[in-house]
Structures are given as C-alpha cells and as structure tokens.
Structure 1
Amino acid sequence: RERERERRMANGETDLDVLLKGMTPTLDETKWCFVCYKSSGGVHPLLADALATFREKEGLTLVIEESQATPRDCWSGEVSKPYAKITLEIHSSLEAVGLTAKVTEALTKEGISANVIAAYYHDHVFVPWERRKDALKCLKKLCLN
C-alpha cells in the first residue's frame, strides 16, 4: 500500500475520483494571450518569456503575458483576447483518463470556453478573462461533487 502511494507521488495520480476531489483549482491573476509566430528561421526573442509553446504547421504558438502581446510583423494573425490560467494543483499523471473531459464538461455547462494544457505535473485551464471567477467557482464546485 505504501509503495503504491509512493508510485503515485512519483508518476502522478490516475484515479479520476482522487483527481477530481483533490484538484484544488488555483487562479493566476496574470492576463495571458495566445499568439502565433511565423518563423523565418532563428528563435523568437519572446520564446524565453513564454509560459508555453506549441509547434504547429502554421507556426509556433506562444502563450505570453498580455503586456508582451502587442502585434508584430512576425505574428501570423491577430493576438488572442486575454485568458486567465487556472491550475489544477494535484499532480495528475499524463496517463490519467477523464480529468480533462470532466473539467471541460463542467465549464461547457456554464457556457465557458476552455483551452487545456497538460504539463508534466499539472493541468492548466485557460478561460476567457472576463469569465475567470465563474470558471473558478465552477471548478471548485466540481471538486465537492
């Protein structure tokens, strides 16, 4: 039993009930924007300050602070509106099944869009800035059910 607990601590939690009850959603008050960098070679100077990046065929998506997201010649299009980041503080395994579905389902019922990034230790849910408090309330309610 102790070995199983230690394994979960090292690899992250996979039990959906444990994940939901212990996810402890935490709101970051920073405004985040999504932008796409069309590379013509080299590394974009904001890469070091990006919260997250993802390479797609259309370009490199960066999640950066709103204050850095002014339109630039290298952006492929519009800068997104601001989003709030809600971190699910439980260490979820990358192999966990159902957490993203439950979180997005709960937010969908409230009419809140969600962009989820699963990192090694935690899941991060980006919601429209103006709905951040509603989203946090919704996710806290999900923890209690």
Structure 2
Amino acid sequence: MAGETSLATLLRSMSPQLNVGEYVFCTLRDGNLPAGLEIIGSFREQEGLTVILERAHAEKAGFSFDYLAAWITLNVHSALAAVGLTAAFASALGQAGISCNVVAGYYHDHLFVGLADAERAMQVLQDLAANAE
C-alpha cells in the first residue's frame, strides 16, 4: 500500500503520538548486536553500529549514552518519496528551540526529541497539524 504524498494531507493527518519510555542512542564500535538485545532501530555507520533502545535496556547492557530522548511517532502513512513533511516539522520544532532526530520507517516517521522537550514538541506538532492548509 502506497503512502500519502500530499504535504497538506500529511500535515493535517500527522496524529503525533508520544510513546511511553525513555530512549537513548548508543554506538557499538565492533558493529555486533548482542543476542537478545531489544532495540527500536539501528543504522550501520563507519564508526560502528548505532542502536536506539530503551534507556533501561542500555543500562542493563552497560552501554554509555549522552542523550536522553522521548519518542514521538507520526501516525500518518507517509510515502518514502513524499516531499516536505520532514522540513515542515523540523522547521516548526527548530523555531521552538527543540532538537529533533528523525528516523523514517516504511509506514511512519519517528522523532526523537530531548526528554525535557517532549510535551512542548507534542504541542508544536499538534499546532502544525491544526493550522495546515
């Protein structure tokens, strides 16, 4: 099923959802994912394997991290080729002084914002959706 490409529809239909929990980004320099480790996502970089996971799982595994994040899912099925959605929400969050790390899944975009900024980020995203033309 193809995702939505209309920017106006994407913005109006974002339906941001704040997921429960505290999330961190860690790097595994040897590039090997330990067996049984529950991760949210990963990306292989030259420096190692970056993993996103719940803080508790990172602490249990003995991983270090320096950024504590909240995870927001945009519950609109955006097409991978859609143009402008990331720019629109990143700009709105940036104007509010909120850092945002974006991961695009096949169906949804996932935003990781500083834990202390979670509620403000949700308000910014809800306002963006409500005012979309």
TM-score, normalised by the number of residues in structure 1: 0.84
Structure 2 regions of 5+ residues with no counterpart? none
How many residue pairs get aligned? The number is 130
What are the Cα deviations for residues 69-124 of structure 1, in whole angstroms up to 9, with x where unaligned?
Answer: 2273xx5xx41321011110000000000000001000001000000000000000
Match of 2:23 among 32, 36, 61: 32
Aligned counterparts, 1:103-122, within 5 A: 103-122=89-108
What is the DSSP-based 3-state SS (H/G/I as helix, E as strand, rest coil) of the residue aligned with 2:56? helix
Structure 2 partner of 1:66: 55
Question: 1:21-100 to 2 correspondence within 5 Å?
Answer: 21-39=12-30, 42-45=32-35, 47=37, 49-70=38-59, 72=62, 78-100=64-86
Aligned to 1:127: 113
Unpaired segments of 5 or more residues in structure 1?
Answer: 1-9
- Of the two, which has the highest radius of gyration? 1
1:46, distance to aligned residue in structure 2 (A): 5.3
Q: Which has the higher helix share?
A: 1
Q: Name the structure with the higher strand share.
A: 2
| CA pair 128-43 structure 1, distance change in 2 beyond 3 A | closer
| Cα distance in 1, alignment partners of residues 107 and 117 from structure 2 | 25
RMSD (CA atoms): 1.5
Specify the code of the residue in structure 1 equivalent to 2:112: F
